[in-house]
Structure 1
Amino acid sequence: MRFVVMIKATADSEAGVMPSEQLLADMGRFNEELVKAGVMQAGEGLHPSAKGARVRFSGRTRTVMDGPFAETKELIAGFWIWQCASLQEAIEWVKRCPNPMPGDSEIEIRQVFEAEDFGEAFTPELREQEERLRAQIAGQSAAG
């Protein structure tokens, strides 16, 4: 099972406060553990929402809203993509994580949908397209 593990933003991360050298070192060691265990597939920090945008969809209309966005507790400051046997395994890994922010912080774990989760609506043609796109992405990553 794949999981997206999201580090929730705080007022400091939204203000652009960078992590300390110690936190970067601690996270680096934690990431090494994840990679050695075959868990971590990707992981990145995100710039504050002031540097981002949202696009709202309403029928055929698209409305662009520039950041920053008001509800800090609803924003993401960083993420990992992990391969784990279960939600419980992902939880156990998160419990070992250094606190990602000064003060209180929160990490959210969400399972990623896999092809089989979509049932019959995900036709053989759509599965083939998905596999082709994944192969193309892997090829682009290997070339870069």
Structure 2
Amino acid sequence: MRFMMLMLPEGYRDAAPDTRPSAEGVEKMMRFNKSLQEAGVLLALDGLHPPSSGVRVSSVNGKSKVVDGPFAEAKEVVGGYWMIDVATRDEAVAWATRCPLNPGDTIEIRQVFEMTDFPADVRKAAEGFEDPRQPAP
């Protein structure tokens, strides 16, 4: 089962575009990342720039609307993510509890849909789309 663990860092909503983690914070996180890797559960991970350097594209009356960050209405923002492959939701939670969080940080865990989670009509509608995780033939 694949799970995405979303890092929601406290205060990141208001972080300046040039905000970067400290060397100490990166060192702690790299130890955690290495443990995921050594356990064979890590599929992907990335840290994200603050929302103040982001852009949102939405649809308004059938037209694309582009808004540069920061985004005042955001309460929590994603600062990074891990994609892991584990046997159960409880195992995903156990990994998240090992993460070196700062006070106020949160990790949200969300299971990834697999095609087998959908009824036959949905699977049929998706036929012919190649899995982007697989190399092209």
Tell me if TM exceeds 0.5.
yes
- Indicate how the Cα distance of structure 1 residues 104 and 123 shifts in structure 2: closer, same or farther if over 3 A, else same: closer
The amino acid of 2:121's aligned partner reads: A
Root-mean-square deviation (Å): 2.1
Counting matched residue pairs gives 134
More helix by share: 1
* 1:139 and 2:131 correspond: no
* 1:120 and 2:116 correspond: no
CA contact 2:12–2:50 (8 Å) conserved in 1? no
Aligned equivalent of 2:7: 7
CA distance in 1, matches of 2:86, 2:73: 30
Aligned equivalent of 1:47: 49
Query: What is the correspondence of 1:1-144 to structure 2 with a 5 Å cutoff?
Result: 1-12=1-12, 14-15=15-16, 16-58=18-60, 60-99=62-101, 101=102, 103-124=103-124, 126-129=126-129, 132-134=130-132, 137-139=133-135
CA distance in 1, matches of 2:105, 2:74: 12
Question: Any unmatched runs of 5+ in structure 1?
Answer: none
What is the percent sequence identity of the aligned residues?
37
CA distance in 1, matches of 2:122, 2:65: 30
Q: Over residues 79-135 of structure 1, what are the superposed CA-to-partner deviations in whole Å (9 max), with x where a residue is unaligned?
A: 110111111101000111111x4x321110001111111212224462332xx243x
- Indicate how the Cα distance of structure 1 residues 71 and 40 shifts in structure 2: closer, same or farther if over 3 A, else same: farther
Question: Any unmatched runs of 5+ in structure 2?
Answer: none
